A and B are shown apart, each in its own frame.
Chain A
Amino acid sequence: MSDPIRSVVILGGGTAGWITAGTLAARFKKDHAQPVSVTLVESPSVPTIGVGEGTWPTMRSTLKKMGVRESDFIRECNVGFKQGAKFARWTTGAEDDFYYHPLVLPEGFQSHNLASHWLAGDRQSSFSSAVCPQESLCEHNLAPKLIGTPEYSAVANYAYHLDAGKFSGFLQRHCTEYLGVHHILAEVTGIVESENGDIAKLQTDTAGDITGDLYIDCSGFRSRILGDHYQIPFRSCKDVLFIDSALAVQVPYASEDSPIATHTISTAQTAGWVWDIGLQNRRGVGHVFSSAHTDESRAFRELAAYLKLGESELDKLGVRKIPIEPGHREKFWHRNCVAIGLSAGFLEPLEASALVLVEISANMIAEQFPASRAAMEVIARRFNETFRYRWDRIIDFLKLHYVLTKRTDSEFWVDNCDPATVPESLQELLTLWRYQPPWHEDFDRAVEVFPAASYQYILYGMGFDTNASAFGLSTSHRGQAQQLLQQKQDATQQMLAGLEKHRDLINKICQYGLQRI
C-alpha cells in the first residue's frame, strides 16, 4: 500500500481536541492490530474556552465508545441530565409564554405523524405535552432514569449539562491512561509545509518538531492551521443570526440541595436571550445578544434582572465577556488538515450544536479514516460536502426559532423576521410546512443533526399554523393517533410515579454509581 496514514496529530487540548482524540484512538484500538498513533499537542498557556455546557444525546454513545464509565463522568464533570430545552418568552414575550423542545420523539414517530392529528384537534394542551411525556418530567424536575437503569441507558431520552473545563481534563486523563494518546505540552511556534503543500510538521518551543500524516486543527477561534496558515476564508452568517456577544457568569445555588433543572432554560430578552444550565454545584448562565441592537450595559442589566440580582451583586460573581463571530470556514478539510470545533466555526449556543458537531466530525473521520494519502482527497471532499450541509441545516434550524416570533417589541425581533435575513432553504421549508407538517422525507440525509421531530416541536411550540389537509383524516388514522396518545398518557403516568427528583438521582449516582448493565 502506498503512503499509509500512520499518525494523527491534533492541535489543541480543549473539549474538541480531546473528544476527537478519544474517538479516534478508541476506534483505532478496536479495529487495528497496530493502531494509528494519536498525538495531541496543547499549548500550556492558552486557556480553553469551554464552549457550551449543553450536549446532545449523541454524547452518550460518544463517551461509551471511548470506554468512559458514565458514573465517573457524572461525578467528575459536575454533570446534570438534560432532557431538552424550555424556551421562555420567545413567541409573545409574555411572562407565561413558553414551550419545550424535548429530546423524546413524539409517540410512534417512526411510522406515524401525530402533528396532523394534534393540528386537527382543539390544541388545548401544548404540542410537546400532547405527544411526548418529557415536558411533564421537566416541569416536575424528575430525572430521566433510575439508579437501577444501566449506564447510558434511559427511561426518557437525555443528554448532559457539563462543566466544560473539568470535561477536557477528564477526557485527557482517560485518553492518555487508557487509549494510548500521546500528550505533548508545548507552544507551537511554526507550521511547516512540504513541497506538495501538505503540512509536514509542527515546530514547538520545547518538544522539537512534531510530524504526522493527518493534522486535526482543534485550536479554537484562532484556527491556526486552517485559518491562519491556509487562509481558508470564513463565511459569516451574521446577516441571518445576529447574535455576536455573550456575557457569561457562574451562579451558585442557594443551598446544597437546591433543585437542579433537568433542561436548558432559554429566556428571550430585548435583543437576544439568556441561557441557564444547571450543573451539580452551580448554574451556568449567560446573556447572548446582538451588539447592533443593544449595548453591553443594557445586556448586563437584563442579565441582572433575569437573575434577580442587583448590578453590583452580579458584578461580584465575575461576568466574562465573550465575543462571538457567527459563521464557519468555507471548507473544513484542506489537504492533510481538518478543522474540528471552534476552528471550523461557531454559532450561538441556542441548540447546543457546538459539541454535537465535534462529535459527528470526529466520528466521520474515525469511520471513514483515509487509509492512504491518495484516499484522503476523496474523504476530504465528502467531509466538506457533508459538513457544509450540516452547518446550513443548523443555521436554518436556529433561525427558525427567531422567524416564528410574534414579538415586535424591539428592532431585534422585527429584523429577525425580515425575509431578507431568512435563508432561501428555510423559506422553502416554511412554505411547505404551511400545507403539511414536517416529516422524515423533508430532509436529504439519512442522519440529520435535527430530525423532523425537532422542527415540529419548534413550529408548533411557537404556534405556527399548518393548514389541515383538505381531505380530512381517515378513521383509521384518527384511531391510530388516539391509541398512540393513550400510550403516551400511560407512559407519562408511569414515569411520573416511578422517577425520582433530578438532584436525588445525581446524589445517588455520586454515592453508589450506576451499573454497566
Chain B
Amino acid sequence: MSNTVALNNESHRNLKVITRRGAEYGEATHLVPVVANELRNLVLEYPVCITKDPNTGQFSLCALLGFEPGENLYLQEDNWDAQYIPMHIRRQPFMVGYRNPEAAVGEDRGAVITLDLDSKRVTEADAGGERLFDDQGNNTPFMQQVSELLGQLMAGMESTTAFLTVLSDSDLIEPAHINVQFASGEQKRYEGLYTVNEDKLQKLDADKLVNMHQHGYLQAAYWLGASMGQVRKLIQRKNQK
C-alpha cells in the first residue's frame, strides 16, 4: 500500500526518514528499475537487462539482484554488499509527482517532491532517521541530497526512454537466454529478459553509429551487453548462500 502526498515543510516538518537498508523496506526484490545514467556504476556490480512492463509492453532497464521473486542476493540484513546502490532504492520513500501532468511539451508540469507516508521508512519517533526540515522549515542537508538524487533520477528516466527507443527502433534488442545451473544441481531458464544484440550493433550503418556515439548510447549499449557477465557472479552469490 502507499499513501503518496506532496511534500511540504509545514505538515511534514517533524518527520524523519530511516535510511538503513533492509528487507523490511521492500528491498528483498530480484529486479530493480534503473536508469541509463547510472549504468557506468551499475555494470561493475550487477547484470543489467532490458525488461518489458507487463501493463504497457514498454521496455525499461532493470538490475538483476536475484533469480526469483523476493530474492536479493546483495542484501544481508541491513548490509547491501555492493559499492553502488541503484537510485530507485536510494530514493525511497520519495518520488516526483506533477501538479499538471497533462501539460503540453515545453509547458511547466509543476514537478513536486512526493512522499509515501505509509512507507516504513517514515517515522516521527526519535529512533534514528534523518530530519527533512529544520525547526525553521528549511531543507536539511539530507533533504538537499534527496532533491539532487531525484533530479538525477528524473533526467535519467527521460534519457533511458530515449536510449531504449533508439535501441528498439534500430532493432538492437534481443531476448537474453539465461540458463543457469546452481551448485545444488538445480537448473533454471529465465524468460522475459532482453539485452543488446552486439552482432547487430557492430553491423550498424556508420551514420547511425556516429549518432548513437554522440548521444552516449553506443557506450551504454556495450555496457549493457558486458553486464550480462555479472550473471556468473550472481550465481556464485547464490551458491554461497
Contacts and interface: CB of A to CB of B under 8 A. Distances in A.
A499 to B, nearest CB: 12
Interface stretch (A164-172, A345-353, A401-409, A506-514): A506-514
Interface in B29-84: 52-59
A516 B52 contact: no
A517 B59 CA distance: 10
Interface of A: 146-149, 508, 511-517
A513 B171 contact: no
Contacts of A513: 57
Contact of A508 (B52, B57, B59, B175): B57
Interface in B134-177: 168, 171, 173-175
A148 B55 CA distance: 8
| A-B CB proximity, top 7 nearest | A147-B57, A148-B52, A512-B56, A148-B57, A512-B58, A148-B54, A512-B57
Contacts of A512: 56-58
B217 interface: no
Contacts of A516: 168, 171, 173
A146 B58 CA distance: 12
A148 B54 CA distance: 6
Contact of A517 (B53, B56, B58, B174): B174
A115 to B, nearest CB: 33
Nearest to B51: A148
B94 interface: no
22 contacts: A146-B54, A147-B54, A147-B55, A147-B57, A148-B53, A148-B57, A148-B192, A508-B55, A508-B56, A508-B57, A511-B56, A512-B57, A512-B58, A515-B52, A515-B57, A515-B58, A515-B59, A515-B173, A516-B168, A516-B171, A517-B173, A517-B175
Interface residues of B, number: 15
Give the one of B54, B55, B57, B192 with max A CB within 10 A: B57
Contacts of B53: 148
Contacts, number: 34
Contacts of A146: 54, 57
Nearest to B174: A517
Nearest to B173: A517
A517 B174 CA distance: 7
A514 B58 CA distance: 8
B194 interface: yes
Q: Which of B58, B59, B174, B175 has the most CB of A within 10 A?
A: B58
A12 B55 CA distance: 42
Contacts of B56: 147, 508, 511-512
B196 to A, nearest CB: 12
Contacts of B168: 515-516
A149 B56 CA distance: 11
A335 B217 CA distance: 55
Nearest to B171: A516
Nearest to B194: A517
Select the residue from A148, A508, A516 with max chain B CB neighbours within 10 A: A148
Contacts of B54: 146-148
Nearest to A513: B57
Query: A149, A514, A515 — which one has the most chain B CB atoms within 10 A of its CB?
Result: A515
A515 B171 CA distance: 10
B137 to A, nearest CB: 41
A514 B53 CA distance: 11
B59 to A, nearest CB: 7
B161 to A, nearest CB: 12
Contacts of A147: 54-57
A440 B84 CA distance: 60
B101 to A, nearest CB: 15
Contacts of A508: 55-57
Contacts of A517: 173-175, 194
Given A508-B56, A512-B56, A515-B52, 14 more contacts: A146-B57, A148-B53, A148-B57, A148-B192, A149-B57, A511-B56, A513-B57, A515-B173, A516-B168, A516-B171, A516-B173, A517-B173, A517-B174, A517-B175
